[in-house]
């Protein structure tokens, strides 16, 4: 076993090492060595603990290794460890928690974090137009403020995002802009990620979606209101059998479904629940899985007759068109299309001229970056909720018609 602190020859041998793993975490060993050589032993233990806290190895509120583990890894006596811990308790750096064993990094720990001008951004996939525009808005605002952007394509993968944030927190990013991951367990798994950010005391802003059970800053569009306007327009056009194809549950999807139901109620109609078709849109991008396409087909057939296929995002619309064409439906004639998303020449010619909602994705990115920047400069006492309005775009009617 290497005696990390108190054997002079070992310290000199290790001085060339940049990074080492201690208690399952990677730390910069130079930062420890520079500040502890030639110090009293209990000061050396204190500096070791301080360094780990400042580097984010042990986050605020996290339990530190036991006294026995510290003795073993620091190669000192129990009395030395106890004296170091007593000082850190007195300085409000560590604390005991009622009903829990061990020592914890105090949430009000006075050490300032190392500041950088890096902002981590995690969104679904920058390849789609919506994500690319949102990212551009974020980057343009941050560039003006001399901050820089680190991108994580979340791929709707909780573990991937969690690993990214864990790593970036230890690199002392200044803040995070995060579009909550859409998958099974939307609320619980995203709360776990947000608690990770809170543990590292990282300012963050949610974008495009929110977590109803978690009070925090977010910037979104008016999903419920825009979905209601879209459905109302279809009802005004005389449609009464509007199939709504929704994806996995999340705040934006749930709000859009609520808007569809609101429109029917305002028209004095009861929406047919059979016409609300649920699909796993994670299995439709970037390539649609055949089994999911077959499930979509079965659910569309079970819905009965309808005159509009209204999709709540581009992934679903693309799959829906494939299924309708496979079923021999004359898309655009027998069944009209409507979309709560920007078409961006999604599936020509079927999507070239249809009723759809366009979200202000660039503005949403800009506003999210602005909220985060202001929170970094001056932490807000109240949460900020920004709700932007989307645009309803109508089909172009030819002069001949």
Strand bridging mode 25-28 / 19-22? antiparallel
Model confidence at 88, pLDDT cuts 50, 70, 90, reads confident
pLDDT value at residue 44: 86
Averaged pLDDT for residues 164-181:
92
Averaged pLDDT for residues 359-364:
97
Indicate the helix (H) or strand (E) that contains 339.
Answer: strand 336-339
pLDDT value at residue 345: 58
Does residue 201 contact residue 175 with C-beta atoms inside 8 Å?
no
Question: Which range among 19-23, 78-82, 362-366, 388-392 shows the weakest confidence by mean pLDDT?
Answer: 19-23
pLDDT value at residue 40: 79
For 36-73, the pLDDT digits (tens) are 444 678 888 888 888 787 666 777 777 889 989 988 88
The domains of the chain, with CATH numbers, are: 4-105 (1.10.10.10), 118-216+362-392 (3.40.50.2300), 223-358 (3.40.50.2300)
For 17-36, the pLDDT digits (tens) are 444 444 555 444 444 444 44
pLDDT value at residue 401: 38
pLDDT value at residue 267: 96
For 7-17, the pLDDT digits (tens) are 344 444 444 44
For 252-276, the pLDDT digits (tens) are 999 999 999 999 999 999 999 999 9
If you write DSSP's letter for every residue of 156-202 in order, what string do you get?
T-HHHHHHHHHHHHHTT-SEEEE-PPPSTTHHHHHHHHHHHHHHTT-
Residue 82 pLDDT exceeds 50: yes
Model confidence at 181, pLDDT cuts 50, 70, 90, reads very high
pLDDT value at residue 14: 42
pLDDT value at residue 205: 97
Model confidence at 91, pLDDT cuts 50, 70, 90, reads confident
Nearest Cα to 324, choosing from 356, 296, 285?
Answer: 296
For 221-252, the pLDDT digits (tens) are 999 999 999 999 999 999 999 999 999 999 99
- d(Cα 231, Cα 264) in Å, to the nearest integer? 8
Model confidence at 115, pLDDT cuts 50, 70, 90, reads low
Does residue 33 contact residue 14 with C-beta atoms inside 8 Å?
yes
Report the chain's mean pLDDT, rounded to a whole number: 86
Judge if the upstream peptide bond of residue 286 is cis by omega within 30 degrees of 0.
yes
Ramachandran region, residue 312 (left: φ > 0; alpha: ψ -120 to 50; beta: rest)? alpha
Averaged pLDDT for residues 120-146:
94
Residue 3 pLDDT exceeds 70: no
H-helix segments, 55-95: 67-74, 78-90
Please indicate whether residue 294 or residue 126 has the higher confidence score (pLDDT). 294
């Amino acid at each position: 076993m290497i005696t990390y602190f108190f054997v002079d020859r070992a310290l000199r041998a290790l001085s060339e090492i940049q990074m080492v793993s201690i208690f399952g975490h990677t730390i910069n060993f130079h930062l420890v060595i520079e500040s502890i050589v030639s110090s009293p032993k209990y000061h050396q233990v204190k500096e070791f603990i301080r360094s780990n806290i400042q580097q984010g190895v042990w986050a605020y509120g996290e339990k530190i290794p036991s006294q026995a583990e510290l003795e073993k890894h620091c190669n000192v006596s129990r009395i030395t460890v106890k004296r170091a811990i007593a000082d850190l308790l007195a300085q409000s750096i560590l604390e005991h928690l009622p009903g829990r064993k061990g020592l914890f990094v105090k949430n009000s720990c006075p050490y300032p974090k190392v500041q950088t001008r890096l902002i981590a951004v995690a969104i679904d996939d920058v390849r789609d137009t919506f994500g690319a525009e949102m990212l551009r808005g974020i980057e343009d605002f941050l560039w003006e403020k001399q901050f820089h952007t680190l991108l994580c394509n979340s791929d709707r993968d909780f573990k991937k995002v969690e690993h990214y944030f864990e790593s970036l927190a230890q690199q002392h990013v200044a803040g995070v802009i995060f579009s909550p991951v859409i998958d099974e367990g939307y609320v619980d798994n995203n709360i776990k990620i947000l608690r990770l950010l809170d543990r590292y005391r990282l300012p963050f802003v949610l974008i495009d979606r929110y977590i109803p059970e978690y009070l925090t800053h977010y910037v979104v569009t008016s999903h419920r209101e825009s979905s209601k306007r879209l459905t109302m327009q279809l009802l005004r056009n005389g449609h009464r059998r509007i199939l709504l194809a929704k994806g996995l549950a999340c705040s934006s999807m749930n709000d859009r479904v609520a808007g569809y139901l609101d429109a029917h109620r305002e028209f004095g109609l009861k929406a047919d629940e059979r016409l609300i078709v649920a699909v796993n849109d994670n299995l439709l991008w970037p390539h649609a899985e055949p089994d999911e396409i077959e499930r979509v087909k079965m659910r569309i057939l079970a819905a009965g007759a309808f005159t509009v296929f209204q999709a709540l995002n581009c992934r679903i619309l693309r799959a829906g068109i494939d299924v309708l064409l496979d079923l021999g439906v004359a898309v655009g004639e027998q069944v009209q299309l409507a979309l709560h998303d920007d078409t961006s020449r999604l599936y020509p010619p079927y999507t070239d001229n249809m009723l759809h909602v366009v979200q202000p994705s660039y503005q949403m990115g800009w506003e999210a970056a602005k909220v985060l920047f202001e929170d970094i400069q001056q932490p807000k006492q109240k949460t900020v909720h920004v709700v932007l309005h989307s645009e309803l775009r109508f089909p172009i009617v030819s002069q001949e018609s």
